[in-house]
Amino acid sequence: MDISKEIVTKAKEINGHIDAYLATGIENKKLGDAMRHYPAAGGKRMRPILAQVVAEAIGKAGDKAIPFGCGIELIHNFTLVHDDVMDNDLMRRGIPSVHALYDVPTAIIAGDALFARAFEIVAETDVEPAKLPSLMKLAARSIFLVAEGQQDDMDFENIPAEELKEEDYMRMVWKKTAVLFECAAEGGAIIGGGSPEQIEKMKEYAHMLGIGFQIWDDVLALTGNEEILGKPVGNDIRNGKRTIIALHALHNLKADDPRKKTLLAALGNADATEEQIKAAIEAIQESIDYAKNASVECANKAKAALSCIADGPEKEFLSGLVDFAVGRSV
C-alpha cells in the first residue's frame, strides 16, 4: 500500500466535505475568507482520516464518521489560527498566517467561529442518540486539554530548562498535539460500535501516533527544508521552545562544553542571526538523533495497539500511517 497516495486520496474526499461545511451560513465575507484561509490551504487531514478509517475498521462505519472527523479538523485549524497569533508566526503552510493577511482581531474571531462551526458539524454525526453526548463531551474535553497544552508550552519558555524534565515535555505534547489524534480515533471507535477494549486500544494507538508525530515535527523544525516546511527552519530555537531536543541537549551537555554555549546563545534569542541558529542546530545533532529514536519508539508502541482490530486494508493503512507520521519530510 502506498500510504502517501492513500492519504492524498482520502484527504481530497475530506477536503470536499470541509469546503461544503464552510461554504454556507457565513454572511460576513471577510470573516468567511479568514475562516477558510487555512482549511483551503490543504493539509494531510490525519485527524479526520483517523476517525474515518478507525470507524471503518471496527464497524464498517467510515462514512458516518466523516462529520465528526471534519469537526475535529476544524478544531485543529482554529488552534493553529490562535497559535500563530500567540507566536507571531507570519507564515503557515507556505502562505501568510491569518493574522498577517488580515489582522489580529479578525484572526481571533475567525478562530472562535471555526470553533463554533466545528461543534455544529460534530452534532450532525449519524450515531445513536445515546452516543452523541459522548462525542460532544469528548471533543469539548479535548479542546480544554489542547488549551492547557498551549499554555504549558508558553509557560515553559519562561522556566529555566534545568527545571524542566522530559516528562514535562511529554505531558505538554500529549495535551497540545496527541489529544486531538486520540479524540479522532476514540470517536471513530465509538461511531464504529467498538468494544470498550477496542475504544481504549485505538485511543492508545493515536496517543503514541500523536506524540511520535510531534517529536518528529520538532526534528523537522530543525532539519527540514524551509521552502517545503513553509516556515523558517530553527524558529523553535529562536522562540526558546522547550522541545525534547532542547531539553536533552541542555541536560546532557556539560557546562564547559562549547556546544552548550552555542545553543544558549541562540535559544530564546529573538535577535539570533541565521549563523547563530545554524551553529546551534549543528551543536545539538546528538540530541536530534535522540529525538528521532524516541519518535520511532512511539511508532512501535502505536503499531502494537493495533492488535485489537482484524487484519485488512484499514489495519494496514493505520500501520502505514504510523511510519508516515514519523518519517515524513514535510
pLDDT band at 230 (very low <50, low <70, confident <90, very high): low
pLDDT interval class at 228 (50, 70, 90): low
Assigned domain for 311 exists = yes
Cell of 54: 478507525
Question: Looking at the domain assignment, is residue 281 inside a domain?
Answer: yes
- Nearest 5°: CA angle at 150, between 144 and 156? 135
Is residue 270 predicted with pLDDT exceeding 80? yes
pLDDT at 195 over 80: yes
Mean of pLDDT values over 198-206: 98
Query: Whole-angstrom Cα distance, residue 208 to residue 125?
Result: 26
Please give the average per-residue pLDDT across 94-103, as a whole number: 95
Q: Is 330's pLDDT higher than 90?
A: no
Q: What is the mean pLDDT of residues 85-101?
A: 91
What is residue 298's predicted lDDT score, i.e. its pLDDT?
A: 97
Residue 157, pLDDT above cutoff 90: no
Compute the distance between CA of residue 183 and CA of residue 176 in angstroms, rounded to an integer.
Answer: 12
Answer yes or no: is 330 within a domain.
no
Domain housing 198: 3-325
CA end-to-end span of the chain: 20
Q: Give the Cα-Cα-Cα angle 189, 190, 192 (nearest 5 degrees).
A: 65
Give me the mean pLDDT over the 90-102 stretch. 92
Give the pLDDT band of residue 12 (cuts 50, 70, 90): very high
Q: State the pTM of this model.
A: 0.91
CATH number at residue 37: 1.10.600.10
Give a yes or no: residue 157 inside a domain: yes
Per the structure, the count of domains in the chain is 1
pLDDT band at 63 (very low <50, low <70, confident <90, very high): very high
Grid cell at residue 169: 515535555
Residue where the block lists cell 497559535: 83
Check residue 161 and give its pLDDT. 81
Task: Report pLDDT for 104.
Answer: 98
